[in-house]
Amino acid sequence: MDVSHNTKQDPLGAVPVITPGYSYSGITDKLSALVLTHNTPAAWFAFMGVGLVLLMCLLMSLTYLLFKGVGIWGNQVPVAWAFPIINFVWWIGIGHAGTLISAILLLFKQDWRTSINRFAEAMTLFAVACAMIFPIFHTGRPWLAVYWLLPYPNVMGLWPNFRSPLIWDVFAVSTYGSVSLLFWYIGLIPDLATFRDKAEKPLIKKLYGVLAMGWRGSARHWYRYETAYLILAGLSTPLVLSVHTVVSFDFSVSNLPGWHATIFPPYFVAGAVYAGFAMVLTLAIPLRAIYKLHDFITMRHLENMAKVTLVTGLIVVYGYACELFFGWYSGSLYEREMLRLRIFDGFYPWAYPALLLCNFIVPQLLWVKKYRRNIAVLFTVAMFVNVGMWLERFVIIVTSLSSDFLTSSWASFSPTRWDFLTFAGTIGLFVTLFFLFVRVLPAISIFEMRTLLPEAATKQTPEGGSH
């Protein structure tokens, strides 16, 4: 490492965004070596092995589902949604932190986003891919699902029902995924050019060269890059609010007790950011340890993410309180009975206390600075939040459907082994895609890390483009 410069310090003396002592070449060599090295950490193979095993479970369960139908899942009347929609909403929520970190923090010029935005954006794409599996296969015949959901004319003169929130999901999630993909790829281009220039094997050099699309780091290239990046950041920012708001409409526009609530849109958005930052912590902490990235993902990053997690968690808990108050204040016997059954003596009396434990009680540890800077505590809290946000969707969907207006139609939901295998399989897909990404593409933005050096405002990068 070329130790010649000090890095940007917080004016209040906080932990720096990057450990002092790095130069331009030192940052480039350190981060490009994560991909171009031949010495892959053993932990990478361990995570990939677990991911591939779970991915095989997903392929097996989906193949069996295509032959047998959705009856292999525990879905039944009245609980006709259950695991597929629970998992869909959970995965979509996880994808929100990537866009928030990349777009909103970029627009607010927050330097601490730089070390984590790249893999958070990748996390968004992989989470959306996992989420879309569930509604597609939930239809029972996925080869027809896409055909009927897309609004293009056909010879039969049939169109989707645009009054259905499920159709709104198609537009919201597809737009979110497309913009996130463009945003992520454009951010990669300067680093792909760096890999092109540093790769030794001709085939690898050509591959990165094609992906870099002729990038040479000229002033014109930088101008076009920064313009496109800011435009996409501006487009992505309202998507953070709109996507999960539209997902919440799946529930709030219905008249079912437990769903018909105006608090759902902001409550779902806050929950999505909450779940997303918990997942970023879940990924950042092992990634930091496996690749020894303590100089780039510092305690300042982890502590700031812990603070955002704490704030959004309190907003989510406020949403729980509003939901209870609105149900009681409405005067509706059905709403009050639903809340009583959900919390005390319904089919799942364990679910709501477990939800409060994971999403409310455990995260209160983050009020204490000592715990915010303790890696083990942070990782434990993040895992509790991951479980708690899944339980939140379980409580909202299953408890409301199992006890609706007619007591004669009440029935409990019991997931089958295929429900668990499919869900675990999507986790395997996510882990596999994430660690493949870490192995072949820069998980931390090289050129953006160089902009954190104090000389970045006056000097040019080694590739010849000024920032």
Q: Which domains does the chain have, with CATH numbers?
A: 24-457 (1.20.1630.10)
Asked if residue 413 lies in contact with residue 76, where contact means CB atoms within 8 angstroms, the answer is yes
Give the model's pLDDT for residue 13.
43
- CA–CA separation, 121 and 140 (whole Å): 31
Omega before 135 within 30 of 0, i.e. cis: no
The residues facing 460 across adjacent strands are 466
> Roughly how many angstroms between the first and final C-alpha of the chain, as a whole number?
22
Give the model's pLDDT for residue 156.
62
Give the model's pLDDT for residue 14.
57
**What predicted TM-score, i.e. pTM, was given to this entire model?**
0.89
Give the model's pLDDT for residue 374.
93
Give the model's pLDDT for residue 360.
95
Give the model's pLDDT for residue 463.
42
The residues facing 466 across adjacent strands are 460
Give the model's pLDDT for residue 410.
86
Per-residue pLDDT of the chain (467 residues), as tens digits, is 444 344 444 443 456 777 777 788 888 888 888 888 778 899 999 999 999 999 999 999 999 999 998 889 988 888 888 899 999 999 998 988 787 777 888 888 788 888 888 888 899 999 999 999 998 888 877 777 677 777 666 666 677 778 888 888 888 888 888 988 998 999 899 999 999 988 888 898 999 999 999 888 889 999 999 899 889 888 888 888 888 899 999 898 888 888 888 889 999 999 999 999 999 999 999 999 999 888 888 888 899 999 999 999 999 999 999 988 988 888 888 888 888 888 888 888 899 999 999 999 999 999 999 999 999 999 999 999 999 999 999 999 998 888 878 887 888 888 999 999 999 999 999 999 999 999 999 988 888 888 887 644 444 444 434 34
